[in-house]
Structure 1
C-alpha cells in the first residue's frame, strides 16, 4: 500500500476540526486525522507493506521548465510579479507536517521522499518495481494512470474519508472515463487540469479526448491523424490539435509520473510494534495524540 501522504493529510486537515489541539493549544487535526486514516486503511486492506510517499519537491523545476503554468496558481502570492517557492497551505497545517513525519518515523512506517520529485513520482517508481498487487491511496486523479489490472495495481480514492472510498481498477476506469490506466495520462493531458495548471488542448474536453483515444489509440496516434488528410478528425479538431502541438510535445513528461526515481534504502514492511516506543510515547504526550495513536497501535498489533 502506497500513501499519497500530502493528499491524505490535506483531507485530514479539512475533515477534522481545528479545535482538536495539543495540550499547548496547537492544532493537531491533520496529525490525528492522518493516524486515523492509516488505522482504517490497515484494518480494511491488511497490507503487508506500507510506504508513506512524500513530496520532497511539490513543484519540480524540471516540470516548470517544460510548462511554466504548472501549479503556478498554488504558488504563494506574497510577492506579486516574483517567483515564490512556497505552496499556499493553511498556516496551521504547515507546522503539523514535521510532527507527522516524526510520528511515522517513531512508528517505523516507511517514509520516502526524493528531490526533485513529487510523491506521485515516488509512487510511480514503487508501483513499477512491486512484485505483487499494489493499492495506491490518493485523492489525486493523476494517479489513475498507474491502474493496471494485469499487475494488480489499483487506486483507493477517498470520497469523504478513507472509510468511504472508491476502488478504481481497470473496469471502473473504463466505465467512468472510457480509457485504461495507460490512456488516462493522455486523456488528462488533452483535457487539461486547472488544479495543476495544465492548459490542455482548447476545445478538447474529457469526452472528446476519450473518443479520440478510442479512435486513434494514443496521443501519438491522434497527432499522426492531424497530419493525415484522410483521418476523420473534424476541421476544428485538426486545427486545435495542430495549434497545440508545442504543448502536446512537452506535456507528456510533465503529466506522466516518473518510474525511475532513485530511491533511498527503506523498509516497507508494516510494523507490528513501534520502532521507537519511548520517542513515540513522548510525541503522543507532547501533541495529545491520544485515541488516534492508540487506535493505530491496536490495529498494527492485530
Structure 2
C-alpha cells in the first residue's frame, strides 16, 4: 500500500475516535500468530504449574495494541467452533491439508476465551460456520446501524467484506504493523473490488484452504480475465472471446469453478446475536488484573495496575 494512501487511512482512523467504532477480532488468527511468534525459539511460556500460556499472552498484547491504535467503543471476538462446517459438507477435502495444532497450543484454545471474557468482551461463534462468517455477519449488521467496523485479522479472504463502513485490518509482520483497507485502498493495491476477491478465489482456488479452482489458471491469468470481464459470470458469458487454451481449462473445470467460488464466499447471514449494547469496551481492570496475576502475566498485570 502506498505511503500516501496509508497515511490517509491513519488520519481517517483518528477522525473516527468520537464515533461508534467496533473492533471485530479474528480470534484464531491472533492466537495462532501469537503462538508461532513466541514459539519459534523453542521456549514456551508456562505458569509455575506447567500450563502453557505463550499464545494467550501474545494474544492479549495484540488485542491491547489494536485497541490502543483503533480506539474502538465496542469489541467482539469471533472464533471457529470445530473443523466441521457447511463447507466441509460441500467439499470433503476443504482444509484437509491442515496439520494438527501444536500440543502446547491445544489447552490455550479454551483459556484464551476465559481471558477474553475477563475483558468483558463477548466470545462469538457457531458450530457449522467459520469465524469469517460470524465476522461478515456482524460487520454487515453493525454497519447497517451506522457504526464503523474494523475487522482485525491476518486472513486476506476477509477483504471481500470491505464496505463503506467496514475496514479490514491485516496484521503484518512486526509489532503494531497494520494494513488498513477500504474499497478505494483495495482497488488501488490489489486491483480488485471486494466482490472480485471471491471471484479470484473461484478461478485460482486456495492452497491454504485446499480447493483447486480452475486447474491451470493462476493469479495473473485470473486477474486479466476479471479486469476484462468483471466476474466469473461475465467470463462464462464471453467464453468465445478468450483464448482457446483458457476456454478449454474453464470448460473442463466448470463444476469446480462454481464450487470454489461458493467455498470462498463468506456468509453474512449466520444466525447469531451480539447486540452493540452488549459489547461496549469497558473492562473491569480489577477483574482483569486478578486474571493476569493468576496466569503469572506479571508485566501485563503491572500495566493494568
State the TM bucket, normalised to the shorter chain.
0.7 to 0.9
Measure how far apart 1:104 and its partner are.
Answer: 1.1
**Higher mean C-alpha displacement, 234-243 vs 214-223:** 214-223
Matching residue of 2:37: 15
Instruction: Decide whether aligned partners of structure 1 residues 38 and 294 sit closer, same or farther in structure 2, where only a CA change above 3 A counts.
Output: farther
Structure 1 residue 182 corresponds to structure 2 residue 195:
yes
Aligned counterparts of 1:133 and 1:178: Cα–Cα separation in 2: 24
Aligned counterparts of 1:104 and 1:255: Cα–Cα separation in 2: 28
Matching residue of 2:210: 197
Question: Taking structure 1 as the reference length, what is the TM-score of the superposition?
Answer: 0.85
Aligned counterparts of 1:156 and 1:59: Cα–Cα separation in 2: 27
Measure how far apart 1:152 and its partner are.
Answer: 2.4
Contact 2:205 2:260 in 1 (8 A): no
Matching residue of 1:270: 281
Matching residue of 2:154: 139
Matches within 5 A, 1:28-177: 28-60=53-85, 62-74=86-98, 88-130=100-142, 131-148=146-163, 151-161=164-174, 163-177=176-190
Partner of 2:294: helix, strand, or coil?
A: helix
Q: Please point out which of 230, 238, 241 is paired with 2:247.
A: 238
Contact 1:7 1:138 in 2 (8 A): yes
Partner of 2:169: helix, strand, or coil?
A: strand
Matching residue of 1:80: none
1:99-128 Cα shifts (integer Å, max 9, x gaps): 111111122111101111110000010111
Instruction: Decide whether aligned partners of structure 1 residues 265 and 142 sit closer, same or farther in structure 2, where only a CA change above 3 A counts.
Output: closer
Contact 1:23 1:286 in 2 (8 A): no
Structure 1 residue 5 corresponds to structure 2 residue 31:
no
Aligned counterparts of 2:184 and 2:220: Cα–Cα separation in 1: 17
Aligned counterparts of 1:292 and 1:35: Cα–Cα separation in 2: 9
- Alignment gaps of 5+ in structure 1: 77-87
Matching residue of 2:295: 287
Instruction: Decide whether aligned partners of structure 1 residues 258 and 162 sit closer, same or farther in structure 2, where only a CA change above 3 A counts.
Output: farther
Matching residue of 2:224: 211
Aligned counterparts of 2:84 and 2:279: Cα–Cα separation in 1: 26
Partner of 1:73: helix, strand, or coil?
A: coil
1:161-183 Cα shifts (integer Å, max 9, x gaps): 45011112223322332211121
Aligned counterparts of 1:250 and 1:142: Cα–Cα separation in 2: 16
Contact 2:201 2:261 in 1 (8 A): no
Q: Which has the higher contact order (CA 8 A, sep 6+)?
A: 1
Partner of 1:50: helix, strand, or coil?
A: strand
Partner of 1:37: helix, strand, or coil?
A: helix
Measure how far apart 1:293 and its partner are.
Answer: 4.7
- Alignment gaps of 5+ in structure 2: 1-22
